[in-house]
Structure 1
Amino acid sequence: MLRNYLTVAFRNLLRYKVYSFINISGLALAIGCCLLIFLFVWNEWTYDTFHENADRIYRVYEKDDDALLSRFSAQIDISIGPVLEEQCADVEQAVRMVTDHEIIEHEGKPLGERQLFADPEILTAFSFPLAEGDPTTALKFPYSVVLTQETAKRYFGTENPLGKTIVIPFFYDEEFYDCTVTGIAEDIPKNSSIQFDILLPYEAIENVHPDIHRWGRRSLYVQLADGVEADNLEVQFPTFVKEQLKEHLEANTVSGSLHLQPLRDIHFGGMTNASTLFGGLKGNAAYPYILLGIGFLIVVLVIANFSNLAIAGVSTRAREIGVRKVLGADRRQLMRQFWMEAILTSAIALIFGLGLAELFLPAFNALMQRELEILYTRFDTLVAVLILPLSIGLIAGSYPAIFLSNLQPAKIVKDTLKIGGKSPFSRGLIALQFSLCIFLVIVMMGITRQLDFLKSKNLGMDAEQLVSLPVHGRELLDLFKNELAGQESIAGVAGAWPGPGPGAGAAPRNLLVEGEKIKVFKFWVDYDYLKTVGMELAAGRNFAREFSTDATEGVLINQTLADQLGWDHPVGRELKEIETSGQRHFRIIGVVEDFHFTSLRHSVSPAVLHLTDWENGHIFLTVKIRPGHIPVAMALLEETWSRLMSDEVFRYEFVDEEFDALYREEERWERIIRFAAGFAIFIACLGTFGLVSLAVARRTKEIGIRKVLGASVTDIVSLLSREFVILVIVANLFAWPAAYSAVQRWLQDFAYRIDLGPGIFVLGGVLTLAIVLLTVGTQAIKSALSNPVDALRYE
């Protein structure tokens, strides 16, 4: 019986080639898309689960309820790690980590390596197995080093690297250190929030920088004892901080409350300076659900298409169904037959869908910033590959199978069967398709408009042609200024810390104003900074060399801080800054217009600008390039860099690109939704094309008679298009409220956002209507131009 079902199914697929092509194309695209979505979702949901003790490992973070933006930070004073391990019985192991990216010269080529300095316990608490070496002793000595297999291959080829020496620079240090290879770690899984190429003992960086526990890119992880609940340990933290960390509390290095974040939550964690700290990719817990939602919509579209075409095509198979019933076929047999056709269609689509998934995987990886692979030997992949088409086939074939098996043979034989696109269910499916298309188009346009708004908004500075370069110390800054002064391509040069871009990170500080503590962000700048970056003064004056007190007590504040202070005339008023050593007094000499130094998701925060001499500190050289001179200016900067800082790789950032980079996630999802909208429209057009073709075939006699009676081409096109136009209008009524709600909810994450006017809703509906009319029109015009004699010849 199964063989008969398969034979008939194959024959029907070959007999109705156009509709088979439409169904297979739609299903193949759906399967390909859903497989890529599955890979992404599975990768996100299994982040960090490969660690054997993942359920007992937590990262310690600090919540400062009194800070700006309610700061959550994983970059705490990690020197508390050994104290936690020693004093808390619930903590089995504590692991301090500091990371950086360093350039290592190898055979004359600079190689960028991810360095991770960690306590030796990292190899026992975490599951980073060693292919060679002993995990209990690999990081025992200060200048030992563990390389990943890939890194070892880069430096030593096929040689055994154990015991060999590699020269490594430590960050923020001019010295190079001979380190002995004591272990080779298996390559780190891609879905790990902790990534490294080179693993070194924490003791090594602590010897070079004794205060690294407070200012490096750092985190503290703890492994709890078996059976200990994190909540129970968190309850003990306030007492622990007061009793065991009294010195840290007094020095303000531990100011907020300590909390524990599960290792498995780090990838999706939203706290600042956290998720990507150790090289792992930042995730968002909502994104897998959004992609699953898109995948669900795609499947719904394809199933709706399949069902509509099957029901609309009943007229072409009515006699077949009638004959089968007359010859004794019961309802269950007919249902099995139609299900077999649906499953066979899905199976064929699976082959093409896998090909499409492989074809688009590189582009999908680039879009999602992942390194996903389709591994057919993995159990979860095999399950997805087999279950997905089978499920789609069964669901897609269900309604047609039930509907077609219910047809009465008497009506079929008498040709009194009234079917096609007239049933409410069929019309509902078509309207649903159009609604989804309109919804996705409007959401895509809403995101696009918001992104355009963000990129065009005034930042309070002129970020165009503004370049930021990291240098060390006042002497280098002055040398650069002297070299670049008077150059035709350079409009201005200044120094600042942090730089004008959002990536450097301004430092939060406490001000004491009339007995009230106020949190502000602090910037250190020189005399030329405001002019170079294009900031405007709202009141008062800029820093000036003729006022000697500017260097010691003069400050500029931004308009937001001036408004927060509530002073009508802030210039000349005094501010007090709270420091670990006491208080410093400053006098306001000017107010600058608000400038953005973070994403426009947040409103402008209070800020203070100081003068500083930077004798030994890190500075961002800020260079303003004249319009049209970027190539010449960049060549000049690189040449000057190579003369003044020959031992360092030329590094720079365009400030406008740094701000644009803040919205990469939004741009990525705008492209994803654009693709989903295009896919939905394509599927809907395929289905509409098939439905119109069936309608033309079903109404050939009617169209012929109308033409004989004088109907014009416009009349025929209107006849075939009218119902689709009505369905698009109805679809708008459902799509608009849903799209408005979705876009409005997304916009709530931005302090600065567009107003949703009626324009994008009307445009979304009109675009969808135009595409539908174009699809319907091609078939309708072809039918209208046909010779009516051909339609009526055998009547």
Structure 2
Amino acid sequence: MLLNYFKIAFRNLLRHKAFSLLNIAGLSVGVAVALLIFLIVRFELSFDTFHQKRDRTYRVVNDFTHEAGKDYQVGVPFPFVPALKTDFPQLEKVTTTFQAYNSQITVLDEQGAITKKFREENSLLFTEPEFFQIFDYPWLAGDPKKVLVEPNTVALTRSIAEKYFGSWQKALGKFIKLDNKQLLQVNGILKDLPDNTDFPIQIAVSFPTLRKFIDANEFTNWGSVWSSTQCYLVLPPKASPTQFDRSLASFLKKHNSDDRNHTYKLQALSDLHFNTRYPSMTYRSISKTTVLSLVLIGAFILIIACINFVNLATAQAIGRAKETGIRKVLGSNRGHLIVQFLGETFFIVLLAVSVAVLLVLAVLPFVRSISNLPDDFQLPLSLEMVGFLLFLILVVTVLSGFYPALILSGFQPVQALKSKMTLQTVGGISLRKALVVMQFSISQVLVIATLIAITQMDYVRKKDLGYNQEAILLVSVPQDSLSQFKLQTLKNRFQALSAVQKVSLHFAAPSSGSNSMTNFRFGKATEDAQFPVNLKAGDVDYFSTFQLRLVAGRAYFPSDTAREVVVNEKLLRQVGVKHAQDAIGQTIRINDRNYPVVGVVQDFHNVSLRDPIAPTAILANKSSYRQVGLKLKPANADMKETLRTVEQIWNETFPEYVYEASFLDERLAEFYEGETKLAQLFKIFAAIAIFIGCLGLYGLVSFVAMQKTKEIGIRKVLGASLPNIVSLLSRDFLKLVLLANVLAWPLAWWAMQRWLQDFEYRTPIGWWMFAVAGLGALLIALITVSFQAIKAAVANPVEALRSE
């Protein structure tokens, strides 16, 4: 019997080719979107779920509360972890980590000669053996309990070892040099870490080695909190994280009673990947709201595709009325007919899912480029994937087929055989109208969300940041003391290039992910301010290179060490100074030194537009310069030649180091990489939703036109014009699309208003966005409906009336 149902389904597909194509196309695209979103969400939810102790593993984070608000930090002071181990011996495991950025790795041969040089951006981690007893990363060689005990030891992942030494077996026992300062011996090899981890470790250095790179005073300083220094621990079974949070308050009071601003607490490992407030080491956090949004979008698009099927199937039921009547006369009961029609739907869904899988395989390379999926990600052939496909087939079959099966099986045989069935008597015209409204409402929400996301990203790109970021090349410089003596020579050589306008040595650009926050006192205050100041270090040309705008006073005089300071307007507002000129001549105390304020700059954005502008102080400090910034002339005819010359000069100055450079606007774009990708996904899903909705609308109008063939013929004979006929077939559907707009607007406004809350500076949601989306939907629907309506209107009325 099942085989017979498939034969009937196949014949019906061939008999109604156009509508079968519409059904399969709509379902295929809907299922493909659901499958792609499943792959993305499944990947995001799988982060660090493979660790055995994951349910008891936590990171210590802290909230820094001050008069201006609250800062959320992931770092701890250096002495925090040793004291924690002493005071809480009941903790199963405790470890500390220090993440290094832009590390220089020099590979040496057996004679100590340099063979290769590499720049590792953020994959180097100083840590302890306990780290690998908390997190389950497999090893190829070496005992994880012993490898990182002694100073100057290092473990590499397999791919890094092969990059450095050709094969991981040869790497054991060999030496590398870190930042041209310290020799490290390779004592262990890790398997390459999976893509679904928030710990981008490729080089693990023993934590005692860090003392060669950090001032010894930092290891006893409770007042200095570095975001790079993090603490991870494993609670005993059945221990309460909430209770431990309360213990941390007493712990801090015991060791640093003067600190009344920091509140330390535990963050669960399961929260690490989804908390944008406390970012992970990879800075690739994705909020749970975003994950939920993707799930809802996938569900909505699948529902739209199922609605298409329901509308087309119920409308098509008129043509199958006689078939149903004959089957009932020959003895089929309603249950048999429901099973038959569900079987036909299952056959169509099976075809659609097969096409959807092929679509996913075709577009997966593109999807990888606009999502966080790894570059080598492939469609997995796993039980989980097979289970999801079977679940999709079942759900889509039930959603798409059950209602049409009820309608078809409910025909009265006498009416069916006498051809008395009409569109109004098949399943209720009001239900199909409601389904069309639902389709276009969902589509409109996605379109409006896309417009708002694109507008916000455009606002971000064009927002005046308070300085100039165009055509500025940032080049990293070494940190060792010998290299520091060469910085001025490097700057002079760059300044001599005809394509270079200005050159500055500094710690970081005005907007940067690298920011240093510290306590300070202003003017005659006897206590530190109740909020921190953002320190920016740069030479005197920092202001002209980035075109920071002085509103009072002057830039400080040239100096290798900090003697004077320039502050921003935000700092003055926070300390109660109303006029910028009044700040000139006052002092600011930072790190136990007083600096006279000689200038005030207009506020500029320190980080991304998600965060408010911070109170800022800028001073000269040669020992902390990490970059040289080159302001290139806009009329630079040969940019490639200029870049080659810059690299050549740098390599001649620092032959032992790896050259690294990028443009400032590229670095600023990285702030919004996640939102940019989300906006691209919104665009694609909105287009797909409209496409599927139009397929269904086209099919439904076709059936309406078919049912009104004789009516149209009579109207034309009686003198109806082409616009009259088109209006007859179009106006009801356009009313439905207009109603869909009205329903979609408040929902879209609410959802995107919440999304924009992540940005401290955001574009207003304007009425024109809703108007554009609404008019666009009406225009697309009108084109879709009019195409079939015009086709029916220009048909020969004689053909329509011949059977009368």
Aligned to 2:601: 592
Counterpart-to-counterpart distance in 1, 2:343 and 2:684? 31
1:429 matched to 2:440? The reply is: no
Aligned to 1:618: 625
Distance 1:144 1:650 in 2: 26
Between the aligned partners of 1:185 and 1:505, the Cα distance in structure 2 is: 32
User: 2: CA distance between counterparts of 1:89 and 1:485?
Assistant: 58
Q: Which moved more, 1:459-468 or 1:628-637?
A: 628-637
Amino acid of the structure 1 residue aligned with 2:635: G
Who is 1:168 aligned against? 176
Q: Of residues 325, 330, 342 in structure 2, which corresponds to 1:327? A: 330
Identity of aligned residues (%): 32
Kindly indicate whether residue 384 of structure 2 is the aligned counterpart of residue 380 of structure 1.
Answer: yes
| Cα distance, 1:465 vs structure 2 | 1.0
Matching residue's letter, 2:199: I
Which residue of the partner structure matches residue 509 of structure 1? 519
* Aligned position for 1:479: 489
Corresponding residue of 1:201: 206
Is the alpha carbon distance of 1:67 and 1:338 closer, same or farther for their aligned partners in structure 2, counting shifts above 3 Å?
farther
CA RMSD of aligned residues (A): 2.6
- Which residues of 2 match residues 132-143 of structure 1 at below 5 A? 132-143=141-152
List per-residue Cα deviations over 1:307-332 (Å, max 9, x = no partner): 00011112211111121222222221
Deviates more, 1:668-677 or 1:768-777: 768-777
Q: Which amino acid aligns with 1:485?
A: Q
Cα deviation 1:659-684 (Å, max 9, x = unaligned): 22222222111111111110001101
Displacement of 1:375 in angstroms is 5.6
AA in 2 matched with 1:317: R
Q: Specify whether residues 415 and 369 from structure 1 end up closer, same or farther in structure 2 by C-alpha distance, changes over 3 A only.
A: same
Separation in 1 of the partners of 2:166 and 2:607?
44
Q: Provide the C-alpha distance between the structure 2 equivalents of 1:309 and 1:120, rounded to a whole number of angstroms.
A: 64
Select the residue among 235, 240, 257 that pairs with 1:229: 240
Task: Give the Cα separation in 1 of the matches to 2:705 and 2:695.
Answer: 15
Q: Is the 8 A contact 2:64 2:261 kept in 1?
A: yes
Give distance in 1, aligned partners of 2:50 and 2:79.
28
Number of the residue aligned with 2:299: 296
User: Secondary structure of the equivalent of 2:97?
Assistant: strand
Question: Quick one: structure 1 residues 144 and 585, their matched pair in 2 at CA, closer, same or farther if it must change by over 3 Å?
Answer: closer
Say whether residues 1:417 and 2:421 are aligned partners.
yes
User: Any stretches of 5+ residues in structure 1 without a counterpart?
Assistant: none
Note if contact 1:78-1:220 (Cα within 8 Å) is conserved in structure 2. no
Residue identity opposite 2:151 in structure 1: P
Post-superposition offset of 1:792 = 2.5
Counterpart amino acid of residue 510 in structure 1: F
Question: Corresponding residue for 1:561?
Answer: 571
2:397 is equivalent to residue 393 of structure 1? yes
Q: Distance in 1 between matches of 2:116 and 2:462?
A: 40
Contact 1:102 1:169 in 2 (8 A): no
Give the Cα–Cα distance (whole angstroms) in 2 for the partners of residues 315 and 166 of structure 1. 80
Q: C-alpha displacement at 1:221, in angstroms?
A: 1.0
CA distance in 2, matches of 1:86, 1:506: 30
Contact 2:537 2:624 in 1 (8 A): no
Amino acid at match of 1:536: R
Does residue 8 in structure 1 map to residue 14 in structure 2?
no
Does the Cα contact within 8 Å between 2:537 and 2:619 map onto a contact in 1?
Answer: yes
Moved more, 214-223 or 58-67: 214-223
Runs (5+) with no aligned partner, structure 2: 108-113, 220-224
Specify which of 439, 443, 447 is matched with residue 445 of structure 2: 439
Deviation at 1:94, TM superposition (A): 1.4
SS in 1 for 2:460: helix
Q: Which residue of 2 aligns with 1:718?
A: 727
Q: State the Cα deviation string for residues 740-794 of structure 1 (Å, max 9, x = none).
A: 2222222233232222222111110111111111122222222222222222233
Provide the C-alpha distance between the structure 1 equivalents of 2:146 and 2:562, rounded to a whole number of angstroms: 51
| Contact 1:169–1:175 under 8 Å retained in 2 | yes
Give the TM-score normalised by the residue count of structure 2.
0.91
Corresponding residue SS for 2:745: helix
Amino acid corresponding to residue 529 of structure 1 in structure 2: Y
Partner of 1:340 in structure 2?
Answer: 343
Given that 2:275 and 2:286 are in contact with CA atoms closer than 8 Å, whether structure 1 keeps it comes out as yes
| Contact 1:570–1:588 (8 Å) recurs in 2 | no
Letter in 2 for 1:197: Q
- SS of the equivalent of 1:165 reads coil
Q: Give runs of aligned pairs for residues 349-748 of structure 1, distance below 5 A.
A: 349-371=352-374, 373=377, 376-419=380-423, 423-471=429-477, 472=479, 475-512=485-522, 514-515=525-526, 517=529, 518-544=531-557, 553-564=563-574, 565-568=576-579, 569-579=581-591, 582=592, 584-612=593-621, 614=622, 616-629=623-636, 630-748=639-757
Aligned residues: 775
TM-score by length of 1: 0.92
In structure 2, what residue type is equivalent to 1:229? S
Q: Are 1:556 and 1:591, in contact at CA under 8 Å, matched by a contact in 2? A: yes
Instruction: Verify the 8 A CA contact 1:468 1:500 in the aligned structure 2.
Output: no
Moved more, 308-317 or 630-639: 630-639
Residues in 1 aligned to 2:116 and 2:507: alpha-carbon distance in whole angstroms: 31
Residues 414, 215 of structure 1: alpha-carbon distance in 2 compared, 3 angstrom cutoff: closer
User: Which residue does 1:48 correspond to in 2?
Assistant: 48
Tell me by how many angstroms 1:230 deviates: 1.8
Partner in structure 1 of residue 222 of structure 2? none
Matched, 1:188 2:193: yes
Distance 1:108-1:335 versus aligned 2 partners, 3 A rule: farther
State the distance in 1 between where 2:556 and 2:625 align: 21
Is this contact kept in 2: 1:68–1:520, CA < 8 A? no
* Aligned position for 1:777: 786
Mean CA deviation greater in 517-526 or 369-378:
369-378
Contact 1:5 1:340 in 2 (8 A): yes
Whole-angstrom CA distance in 1 between matches of 2:332 and 2:168: 73
Letter in 2 for 1:424: S
